[in-house]
């Protein structure tokens, strides 16, 4: 499934201001330290940021870590465990709660946040925007639509693990 996951789920932007102008009116979810940093630099605090201190499996640069830390100082911070190449129940629960919370939230992942885009699209309301990094290309803007949710559900259902339990968490009111 690596090939499917490498295909961007929306347009790629290299400029945060242009991305923000194209984003929907719903909640803004940022997945990744570098994406979160660029949004923060553009003066926007995402409603939810999911970070792990890494980019391309290496520690982020100090300026990125400092930008994320500035954002964290203005938001509720929640720490979660999530192993590489997986979506833990804990990540799914906290992501769902963070999206529903009117207070901005930074989810700090111990492990890896690379797949957090998928449950974010399922959990977010229609009209939301999920932004994630496309390595060496820019930031992908994934609009949360019925079609996007269906595509992501299909991807998740074909992954190893208990997708029914994951959907139960993400669909809970």
> Which residue ranges make up the annotated binding site for GTP?
33-35, 52, 113, 136
SS3 annotation, 113-151: CHHHHHHHHHHCCCCCEEEEEECCCEEEEEECCHHHHHH
Q: Where is the binding site, in residues?
A: 33-35, 52, 113, 136
Token pair in block for residue 170: 């993400």
Query: What per-residue string of b and e applies to 26-60 under the rule 16 or more CB within 10 Å gives b?
Result: bbbbbbbbbbbbbbbeeebbbbbbbbbebbeeeeb
Task: Give ∠ CA 72-77-83 in degrees, rounded to 5.
Answer: 110
Confirm if 144 and 128 have CB atoms less than 8 A apart.
yes
């Amino acid at each position: 499934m690596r090939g499917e996951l490498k295909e961007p789920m929306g347009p790629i932007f290299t400029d945060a201001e242009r991305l923000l102008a194209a984003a929907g009116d719903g909640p803004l979810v940022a997945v990744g330290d570098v994406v979160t940093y660029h949004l923060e630099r553009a003066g926007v605090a995402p409603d939810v940021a999911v970070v792990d201190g890494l980019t391309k499996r290496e520690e982020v640069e100090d300026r990125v870590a400092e930008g994320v830390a500035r954002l964290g100082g203005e938001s509720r911070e929640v720490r979660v465990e999530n192993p590489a190449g997986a979506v833990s129940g804990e990540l799914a629960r906290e992501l769902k709660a963070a999206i529903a919370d009117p207070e901005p939230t930074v989810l700090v992942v111990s492990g890896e946040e690379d797949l957090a885009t998928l449950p974010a699209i399922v959990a977010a309301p229609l009209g939301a925007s999920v932004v994630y990094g496309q390595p060496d290309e820019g930031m992908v803007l994934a609009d949360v639509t019925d079609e996007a949710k269906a595509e992501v559900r299909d991807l998740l259902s074909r992954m190893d693990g208990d997708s029914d339990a994951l959907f139960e968490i993400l669909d809970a009111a």
